[in-house]
């Protein structure tokens, strides 16, 4: 009942987790593994893509497939990042609202926005791309010159919230909507991976309910996890909750 690709993926996963292959070690080439399991190369590649999506294996074009520690960088908007091994670049520009942006930000089409584009890198491959938008009707934020990748900055565009706060605009509510999809060609090139991506659509409102910022974040699904923390406000326990 189980397919060959999953049978192979399960077998390789067991080999890796039981220590048959060390972290950082190169797996046998796909051709060799296909011979070993007596399947065709495309079938073996399907099995490999299961392990890649789990973060257990990293494929490097031209070099091989490598066993990976399945550590994932946590995406948690508004929380300070502990990880400072990420290089983050920023690019800022003025754009006109189009596509889904007018409905995301509840502004008229073609209205002026400030766009912040963050790209984070882990070694040579990108880990995330975040585009944060602030309507210029909300705040006419300054547009500094773009900065090269550097460490210690939030990869998710959290500093836009700080800029807004400095301008006297305080975010009261943030709603995040998350889906999974396959990467576009451009995303696959940047992330150096064709595993599924996590896409976060984020809208921030002030206490009056006005949308003051919106964002799209694309995360490499094999190297990131999304963390949400919810503190239930517990009053005195009553009969109904």
Partner DNA sequence: CAGTGGTCTAGACCACGAA
Partner DNA sequence: TCGTGGTCTAGACCACTGT
> Which residues would be at the binding site for DNA (CB under 7 A)?
3-5, 27, 29-32, 38-43, 45-46, 48, 59-65, 124, 188, 194
Encoded one letter per residue, x for contact with a second copy by CB under 8 A and - for no contact, window 156-185 reads ------x--x--x-xxxxxxxxxxxxx-xx
DSSP 42: H
Calculate the CA dihedral of residues 54, 155, 216, 164 and round it to 10 degrees: 150
Binds a second copy (CB under 8 A): choice among 78, 108, 146, 152 = 78
Q: Is 94 in the site for a second copy (CB under 8 A)?
A: no
Q: Return the SS3 of 138.
A: coil
Nearest alpha-carbon partner for 132 in 173, 103, 90: 90
Instruction: Report the partner that residue 170 touches, choosing among DNA, a second copy, none (CB closer than 5 to 8 A by kind).
Output: a second copy
Binds a second copy (CB under 8 A): choice among 63, 207, 208, 209 = 207
C-beta closer to a second copy: residue 48 or 87: 48
Q: How many residues bind a second copy (CB under 8 A)?
A: 48
What CA–CA distance (Å, rounded) separates 97 from 105? Answer: 9
Q: Is 153 in the site for a second copy (CB under 8 A)?
A: no
Q: Taking the complex as a whole, how short is the minimal distance between the CB of residue 42 and DNA, in angstroms?
A: 4
Mark 179-208 as b/e (b = at least 16 C-beta within 10 Å): eeeebeeebeebbebbbbbbbbebbbbbee
Q: Is 228 in the site for a second copy (CB under 8 A)?
A: yes
C-beta closer to a second copy: residue 144 or 237: 237
C-beta closer to DNA: residue 29 or 103: 29
CB of 105 closer than 8 Å to CB of 97: yes
What CA–CA distance (Å, rounded) separates 120 from 129? Answer: 7
Adjacent-strand bridge partners of 219:
128, 198
Nearest alpha-carbon partner for 121 in 146, 93, 155: 155
C-beta closer to a second copy: residue 87 or 187: 187
C-beta closer to a second copy: residue 107 or 169: 169
């Amino acid at each position: 009942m189980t397919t060959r690709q999953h049978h192979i993926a399960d077998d390789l996963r067991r080999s890796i987790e039981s220590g048959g292959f060390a972290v950082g070690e190169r797996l046998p080439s796909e051709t060799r593994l296909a011979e070993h399991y007596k399947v065709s190369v495309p079938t073996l590649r399907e099995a490999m893509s299961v392990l890649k999506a789990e973060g257990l294996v990293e494929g490097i074009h031209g070099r091989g497939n490598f066993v990976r520690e399945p550590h994932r960088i946590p995406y948690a908007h508004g929380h300070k990042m502990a990880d400072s091994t990420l290089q983050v670049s920023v690019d800022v520009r003025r754009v006109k609202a189009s596509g889904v942006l007018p409905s995301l930000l509840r502004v008229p089409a073609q209205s002026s926005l400030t766009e912040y584009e963050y790209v984070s890198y882990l070694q040579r491959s990108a880990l995330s791309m975040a585009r944060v938008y602030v309507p210029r009707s909300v705040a006419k934020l300054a547009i500094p010159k773009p900065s090269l990748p550097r460490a210690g900055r939030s990869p998710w565009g959290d500093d836009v919230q700080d800029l807004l706060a400095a301008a006297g605009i305080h975010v009261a509510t943030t709603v995040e909507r998350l889906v999974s999809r396959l990467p576009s060609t451009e995303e696959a090139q940047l992330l150096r991976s064709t595993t599924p991506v996590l896409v976060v659509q984020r809208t921030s409102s002030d206490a009056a309910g006005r949308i003051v910022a919106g964002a799209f974040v694309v995360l490499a699904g094999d190297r990131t996890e999304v963390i949400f923390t919810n503190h239930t406000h517990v009053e005195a326990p009553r009969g109904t909750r």
